[in-house]
Structure 1
């Protein structure tokens, strides 16, 4: 049954969401289109650059992404508290990076004396923009509309580019977040587009690996630690539960986990398959077989919500639903 968007995105339950958008009319985000004979790899660059721009404007961080041939995946975190802490001028500055200004706001910025009614209008506009700047729907609207316009311009056509609205999944606990991020980062491996993580183009795991390798290389040459440079500034960093605004996992453990999972998931992958269970699985008390089953069947196992049986049942009860797909 189709659910209203407001029922799918509940920031009181979780700030983390898995977002998916798919093209229509055999449209290509990247790769070789056998129908037209054209290559569309450059469109993946459009999308990654737009995602990073929007995340620098919205209070929405990207934890993982994968840009495939005709669809893309994002795992994002909504930082509502961050948006609420912005000053009014900060909200206006961010909004003006995407939209044309309003005369009344321009007068406010110029320091003109405004009437009580005008001041009320300014406050209402800023409040509305602030809310939109941590709204996933507005984020996706700015992302998908931009790509659609650029692609239609290039294809010399009009009409729909995306297959309806984006799909969203609420990630209700740490296990669900980690499971989904690994699933997203392994998309090119699963699709046989790459045989190792370093070659998984236009994925967050590749970006994280390159940044880490470059930072460690510079650190070795300079013989000093480069604090904070081992992780991309455009992605939500890994850290600990005690560190605010970070993913509650170790970066190196995540690398180990995704590589280990990829060796099991991809039957054609060459190389040694480690027998030891990654440290992060032990820390989170995740069963190895259950973990692999979730990754291999991620697309069919869950619906709009992802989490443990307990988390899914609790969220279903909160929304007066009998059950959510994945509970069993």
Structure 2
């Protein structure tokens, strides 16, 4: 079978859910402890979480789930071209120039100013290009990976590739595929023995959601989307030292406190909201307020905790689901007895596939991309009713 093109998996003008995966190269450690040098890179986990939070405040892309491990990371994204369409040309230009101003002051990116924004708005073709990129998952992952690679290389005092090629992507086709992948991502820290329970698995989406439900707050890492005036821009570009310019890029004073999961997409879908309503967020922390699962956080955590306890369950064996959890499988089409096998052996079923979901959905996706079949559809059939 020929390799799958990115344009066959997702495009910027179509809403879709994608599981993205990125691994380090050259025995590099993303966040773990190097066994040879005993150097601790754990602090880089917060780099990634903050960068994801910053990008969520600018892009028209929802961050659904994430997990940061020793040498790789997982993130589930949903692009939102419908939300980007609600933005004015000025807002599109401001958001894009905040990430890619196109100008540097020594080694620091310049802040976008009002003149830059007006110049971009005067070019409809450029605005259309920016609008498309702001809902493009490839541009989101590029904006994440490049900044982390630069910071890691600077800290390691080296140059060259930090990531093992481009990120890997898998399209999630239905609720069953999404739920299985979401739990696979949240349980990755337990799989790697980096935490004993999901309540202790820091730098995962489930940890953030549980802590937020308890009232935990963090300093916001959302990017400021207000362009500088011409006078402020000139002053910063001509009169400040490098250290002053770096300091000026940071928000003055303490950052506002927000719930720990405020930048993540809500977990629960609201059945009363019109499916065509973009539910664009107005708090400046994320793209939209649309959920992604037909269950609340309490039920999700309950199912995740029970699934976590089955970590050492023999692969392929039947795992009896408690009666209290069986209603959660309604409408998924998944055999409850095979749920643990599907989650804990997720890569066995979908590791080489370009998509994840019910076998019927995988067949339909193959037809969409003019393929005869999708890898993994026969193995996955054993887990679906």
TM-score interval, smaller chain: 0.7 to 0.9
Aligned to 2:264: 235
**Worse-superposed segment, 278-287 or 196-205:** 278-287
The yes-or-no answer on 1:248 pairing with 2:249 is no
Alpha-carbon distance between aligned partners in 2 of 1:306 and 1:28, rounded to the nearest angstrom: 28
Alpha-carbon distance between aligned partners in 2 of 1:313 and 1:11, rounded to the nearest angstrom: 23
Deviation at 1:149, TM superposition (A): 0.3
Aligned to 1:225: none
Kindly report the root-mean-square deviation, in angstroms, between the aligned alpha carbons of the 2 structures.
2.5
Alpha-carbon distance between aligned partners in 2 of 1:72 and 1:200, rounded to the nearest angstrom: 14
Deviation at 1:30, TM superposition (A): 1.3
Alpha-carbon distance between aligned partners in 1 of 2:342 and 2:49, rounded to the nearest angstrom: 27
Secondary structure at 1:64 match in 2: strand
Deviation at 1:86, TM superposition (A): 0.8
Do 1:13 and 1:315's aligned partners in 2 also have CA atoms closer than 8 Å? Answer: no
Deviation at 1:240, TM superposition (A): 2.9
Do 1:179 and 1:294's aligned partners in 2 also have CA atoms closer than 8 Å? Answer: yes
Do 1:208 and 1:231's aligned partners in 2 also have CA atoms closer than 8 Å? Answer: yes
Deviation at 1:31, TM superposition (A): 2.2
Alpha-carbon distance between aligned partners in 1 of 2:260 and 2:328, rounded to the nearest angstrom: 19
Deviation at 1:274, TM superposition (A): 7.6
Deviation at 1:72, TM superposition (A): 0.3
Cα 1:263–1:14, aligned 2, differ >3 Å: closer, same or farther? farther
Do 1:19 and 1:166's aligned partners in 2 also have CA atoms closer than 8 Å? Answer: yes
Do 2:12 and 2:136's aligned partners in 1 also have CA atoms closer than 8 Å? Answer: no
Cα 1:122–1:153, aligned 2, differ >3 Å: closer, same or farther? same
Q: Name whichever structure is richer in helix by fraction.
A: 1
Alpha-carbon distance between aligned partners in 2 of 1:70 and 1:231, rounded to the nearest angstrom: 24
Cα 1:154–1:12, aligned 2, differ >3 Å: closer, same or farther? closer
Aligned to 1:224: none
The yes-or-no answer on 1:20 pairing with 2:49 is no
Secondary structure at 1:73 match in 2: strand
The yes-or-no answer on 1:154 pairing with 2:199 is no
Do 2:64 and 2:267's aligned partners in 1 also have CA atoms closer than 8 Å? Answer: no
Aligned to 1:298: 346
Cα 1:300–1:14, aligned 2, differ >3 Å: closer, same or farther? farther
Aligned to 1:226: none
Do 2:33 and 2:40's aligned partners in 1 also have CA atoms closer than 8 Å? Answer: yes
Q: Pairwise mapping of residues 130-149 of structure 1 onto structure 2 (< 5 A)?
A: 130-149=131-150
Alpha-carbon distance between aligned partners in 2 of 1:256 and 1:310, rounded to the nearest angstrom: 28
Alpha-carbon distance between aligned partners in 2 of 1:236 and 1:138, rounded to the nearest angstrom: 19
Alpha-carbon distance between aligned partners in 2 of 1:123 and 1:10, rounded to the nearest angstrom: 21
Deviation at 1:201, TM superposition (A): 1.4
Cα 1:323–1:75, aligned 2, differ >3 Å: closer, same or farther? same
Do 2:22 and 2:163's aligned partners in 1 also have CA atoms closer than 8 Å? Answer: yes
Residue by residue, what CA displacement relative to the aligned partner does 1:258-281 show, whole Å, maximum 9, x if unpaired? 1111111246xxxxx983352422
Deviation at 1:297, TM superposition (A): 1.5
The yes-or-no answer on 1:276 pairing with 2:305 is no
- TM-score of the pair, normalised by structure 1: 0.85
Cα 1:122–1:106, aligned 2, differ >3 Å: closer, same or farther? farther
The yes-or-no answer on 1:323 pairing with 2:373 is yes
Secondary structure at 1:97 match in 2: helix
Alpha-carbon distance between aligned partners in 2 of 1:172 and 1:260, rounded to the nearest angstrom: 25
Aligned to 2:85: 84
Aligned to 1:31: 32
Secondary structure at 1:65 match in 2: strand
Deviation at 1:286, TM superposition (A): 3.1
Q: Pairwise mapping of residues 54-93 of structure 1 onto structure 2 (< 5 A)?
A: 54-93=55-94
Q: Unaligned 5+ residue runs, structure 2? A: 104-112, 217-257, 274-278, 280-289, 314-319, 379-385
Residue by residue, what CA displacement relative to the aligned partner does 1:90-145 show, whole Å, maximum 9, x if unpaired? 1011012111158xx954755xxx9xxx98x6111111111110101111111000
